[in-house]
Structure 1
Amino acid sequence: MRRIVLYYACGVFAAAQLGKFAALSPLIARELHLGLAAMAALTSLLEVCGALLGGVAGHWLPRLGLRRGLSLAVLSLAAGSAAAAFAQDVTTIALARLLESLGYLIVVVAAPVLIAHAAHGQRQAAAMALWSTFVPVGMAVGAWAYANAAGGVGWRTAQALSVAGGVLLWLGLRTLPAEPESSEDDEHRHPGRTGLLLWALVASFGAYAIAEVGLLALLPSLLTQGGMSLGAAGSWTAMAALANVPASAFGAWLLRRHGARSTTIAVAMGCSLLLSGLCFLGVMRDGGAASMQAPLAVMINLCSGVFPSLVFALLPLAAGSKERLSLASGRLTQFGASGALLGPPLMGAVVEQGGWSAAGGLSLLLSVAAVPMALLAWRRLHRGQ
């Protein structure tokens, strides 16, 4: 259990760097005279390495050693934050952010594999469902912690939270005993080929990520246009993100009660995507009332949040073997990060060209498109292919 908690904490720490930049952006922009476009680009840089190198990382990390890589990753996140604290221009901030992006990539590829190795049987599905919550939990923790710290000591000194967090996690990883279930042969064996099952699973996750991240990125703007205050819009956005947590707990309960290959899991994935897709039409529409759109945004995540918990739980089965799990995690990271990068600018462009209702329609289409891919993955898993 200690291993799982520590690996999960590494994921929350990595995701907190997303919330950190959201909280510190106004202060950084004011001091370094940066516009909104520049700040948006700097924020998205955390996902760049994942989008470009996720598959490569999944292939090479086992050769380095997953836990060794995770230790280096938390130090990379700490070093990037330290560099940002001394930055005097946008170039230095961008380079520091790229260093954080490299650490983030390694964490999100290595940590779920280590969690899967540390858990067994039904515990593995529940542990992977827990892992699926690391982004909303990390973003919420990061936004709260860094906003409060920066309010008292400024954005530069607030970066010390990341430095301290990275060092503490590195020390914690160093104290863990060797894992007997992960032999050197397992970690250095070639991962082999992945099949249609995995590709269908990660593609459905990528479509989900485009719609989900696009919504969360634009939700404050949508709600403030509807007359809501910025503070209230931010609170509703945080609640929407955190709604993934109880949804993931429900997904874990389904897995424990019915098993990953049960027809119930297929129905849950399909219903999760379709119900959230329909809710998009109520949230992202022209002339909507913010007082109605905000609760519906929370409902989207209560519905859609079941889907990623099931995807992560199915990932070890989709990989087919322990030595291929790292590659599978890298593929999932690549599709998820690509969706997170593409979602906000794509939805923003659609809103500018066709209005909020057009963006709602596109989100519904993405949700619907994810369903047959997810069901194809489950069907092949169910048949044992």
Structure 2
Amino acid sequence: MIALVYLAGVSAGVALGRFVPLEAGIRGAFGLSLAAYGWLVSGVTVVAACLALPTGLWIVGRDLGRVLCAGLGVMLLGGVLEVAAPSGWLWLLYGARALEGVGYLAVVVTGPMLLAARCRPAVERRALALWSTFVPVGMAVASALGTLSGTVGWRAAGALTLVPGAVGLGGALRWLTGIRGRPEERYVPHRRGLGPVLQLSLAFSLVALLGVTAVALLPKLAADREVRSAVGGATAAVVSLASVPGGLLAGGLLGRGAGPRALTATAVLGMPCAAAVTYQVNAWAAVSAGAAVLQFAGGFVLGALYASVPSVARSPYELGRGYGLLNQAGSVGTLLGPPVFGFAVTRAGWASATVLATVVTLGGLVLFLAATRRPGPSGP
């Protein structure tokens, strides 16, 4: 069951990263600027950025397996329309991307709820830690398949990225339908504000922004460094995976009782240095290493943030609402990152990417420390 749910998540990650290695073909066929291309890359998260929180609350108590299947089906339909859109039909391309976003939302919100409903407590933490890696793994698969675009064309390479979703849909229809959330997921809201949960979600949004953006800009960076597009695509695939061991390491250390504040602060402070190497050095080997370190540290931080939600939630209802808000905030970061960085690079060069990465990481660190600080002792 865990494998099927994770495959659904990876399919969502593939959808998110489908156009990253296809930049040259997509921009040539539709006449997209770098900023417009960035909106296309992150456009799948538009719906999630707006509706993840209410969707998470609506799904509670429903047939989670059927919701997941519906999400996979809608996501597949959107993907088919994207790769079949005639050149120049921007309305169809962006409309299909938004439709795919509806399916993406259903998958990413329902996945962890399915794991929580069926996993034993001893397995649940590890399963959720694994789930937190679905975006980089999916983007790596998309980047690897995208390297075939030079041989078979961008449309055929894009069509290959639909295969994981089709396989996941078949398995979900067979084995996951009929699963509902636990009775205790019918939370009763309380009157206290979001507080630390909101701060943690905003921190998650800022760090998630950097991970997707770093991978999305690698093909452009490769072109500017006069590196072959196939090498740039392969680098993006490998770099995407660097965040996976980071997330799993965070889960392992936190599961053994390590303090999240010191670990997260150390990882966050290393991210601006890695960004400087990635965006300012000319040697492609150094660029690749810097991007990999940036992704590893980002994966570690995201894993720690995801695992910290129970420690800052003040009621069962806030826990459920917190994970919904975390998904929504992460989607906002994923949505805004590529176009904002793309616009800055177009106007001010790659140095602007380093400055933005530094500001974003430090902002995320401040929010995380504020969310997880212990309240002082009460006065007499």
Normalised to the residue count of structure 2, the TM-score between the two structures is 0.85
Cα distance change on mapping 1:324 and 1:33 into 2, 3 Å? same
Match of 2:126? Answer: 126
8 Å CA contact retained: 1:272, 1:305:
no
Residues 269-325 of structure 1: CA deviation (Å, up to 9, x unaligned): 11111112222223223x643332221211222222211111222234444555544
* Most deviating of 213-222 and 366-375: 213-222
Residues 199-233 of structure 1: CA deviation (Å, up to 9, x unaligned): 12111111212333332222332343234332222
- Could you tell me how far 1:241 is from its partner in structure 2? 1.4
8 Å CA contact retained: 2:146, 2:154:
no
- RMSD of aligned alpha carbons: 3.1
1:351 aligns with 2:345: yes
1:284 aligns with 2:283: no
Letter in 2 for 1:241: S
CA distance in 1, matches of 2:238, 2:160: 27
8 Å CA contact retained: 2:143, 2:234:
no
CA distance in 2, matches of 1:214, 1:346: 9
Match of 1:169? Answer: 169
CA distance in 2, matches of 1:157, 1:284: 28
Gaps of 5+ in 1: none
Match of 2:265? Answer: 270
- Could you tell me how far 1:11 is from its partner in structure 2? 0.6
1:224 aligns with 2:223: yes
Greater helix proportion: 1
Between the two proteins, what is the percent identity of the paired residues?
A: 29
CA distance in 2, matches of 1:172, 1:293: 40
Out of 51, 54, 57, the residue aligned to residue 56 of structure 1 is 54
Letter in 2 for 1:44: S
Q: SS at the partner of 2:182?
A: coil
8 Å CA contact retained: 1:191, 1:327:
no
Residues 155-174 of structure 1: CA deviation (Å, up to 9, x unaligned): 26963762773364354354
Match of 2:12? Answer: 14
CA distance in 1, matches of 2:339, 2:376: 37
CA distance in 2, matches of 1:67, 1:79: 19
Residues 48-81 of structure 1: CA deviation (Å, up to 9, x unaligned): 1111222222232226443332221111112223
Match of 1:215? Answer: 214
CA distance in 2, matches of 1:156, 1:106: 26
Out of 26, 32, 51, the residue aligned to residue 35 of structure 1 is 32
8 Å CA contact retained: 1:246, 1:302:
yes
8 Å CA contact retained: 1:112, 1:128:
yes
8 Å CA contact retained: 2:21, 2:219:
no
Residues 164-187 of structure 1: CA deviation (Å, up to 9, x unaligned): 73364354354237558713xx45
- Could you tell me how far 1:28 is from its partner in structure 2? 5.2
Runs of 4+ in structure 1 over 6 Å off? none
Cα distance change on mapping 1:344 and 1:84 into 2, 3 Å? closer
Cα distance change on mapping 1:52 and 1:181 into 2, 3 Å? closer
CA distance in 1, matches of 2:287, 2:147: 26
CA distance in 2, matches of 1:305, 1:377: 19
Cα distance change on mapping 1:155 and 1:350 into 2, 3 Å? closer
Letter in 2 for 1:244: S
8 Å CA contact retained: 1:197, 1:381:
no
Residues 8-57 of structure 1: CA deviation (Å, up to 9, x unaligned): 11110111112333345555555x54434554433322111111222222
Gaps of 5+ in 2: none
- Could you tell me how far 1:93 is from its partner in structure 2? 2.6
CA distance in 2, matches of 1:189, 1:234: 45
Q: SS at the partner of 1:377?
A: helix
8 Å CA contact retained: 2:143, 2:233:
no
Match of 1:204? Answer: 203
Cα distance change on mapping 1:334 and 1:164 into 2, 3 Å? closer
Cα distance change on mapping 1:76 and 1:235 into 2, 3 Å? same
Q: SS at the partner of 2:227?
A: coil
- Could you tell me how far 1:134 is from its partner in structure 2? 0.4
CA distance in 2, matches of 1:71, 1:256: 31
Match of 2:289? Answer: 295
1:182 aligns with 2:174: no
CA distance in 2, matches of 1:195, 1:328: 8
Match of 2:45? Answer: 47
CA distance in 1, matches of 2:309, 2:152: 42
8 Å CA contact retained: 1:77, 1:104:
yes
